[in-house]
Amino acid sequence: MDIVVNPKINKSELSRFFTEMEQQADAEEVASFKKGLKKSYVIAAYEDKKLIGFVKAVSDYATLVYIQDLLVLPSYQHLRVNKTLMHHLLNYFGTIEQVVVSPLIKADAKFYRQLGFSAGVEQGLETYFVDRRAR
């Protein structure tokens, strides 16, 4: 497995990745996601030059890191790719005081707890957001 920091991921590579993730993504969604990758800190994992996973984060590089996505192809999830990507990210941002993630899948909470994360509620924090995507 090769780890690449801020890789150049093209649209066809992203489309193939989302197809293998069994997530429907039209051309507009792929283009939007690609634009987001350019504005984020990304660490990607490749196997034989094939994108198998990545973690995407945004940060002010001083006080806060927000992990937006941690995605690994289902056929590689048992190989600790997610853990490897997260360790690289956490090491890179090692001096940042706050690292935040909002897992979409409740089962992922166990994974993040194993990495030292605690629930915001345990810290007296609440999260609020506005979702402006079309429904």
pLDDT of residue 23: 76
* Whole-number Cα distances in Å, 54 to 67, 79, 125, 133: 11, 14, 27, 23
pLDDT of residue 85: 96
Which letter does DSSP use for residue 125 in this model? -
Inter-residue contact 59 to 93 (CB < 8 Å): yes
Angle among Cα 66, 43, 96 to the nearest 5 degrees reads 40
Which residue ranges form the domains of the chain, and what is each CATH number? 2-123 (3.40.630.30)
Inter-residue contact 102 to 57 (CB < 8 Å): no
Tokens 């609440």 map to which residue? 126
pTM attached to this predicted model: 0.84
The pLDDT profile of the chain, 135 residues, written as one tens digit per residue, is 999 999 999 988 998 998 888 777 777 888 888 899 999 999 999 999 999 999 999 999 999 999 988 999 999 988 999 999 999 999 999 999 889 987 766 668 888 888 888 876 666 666 766 767 665
pLDDT of residue 84: 96
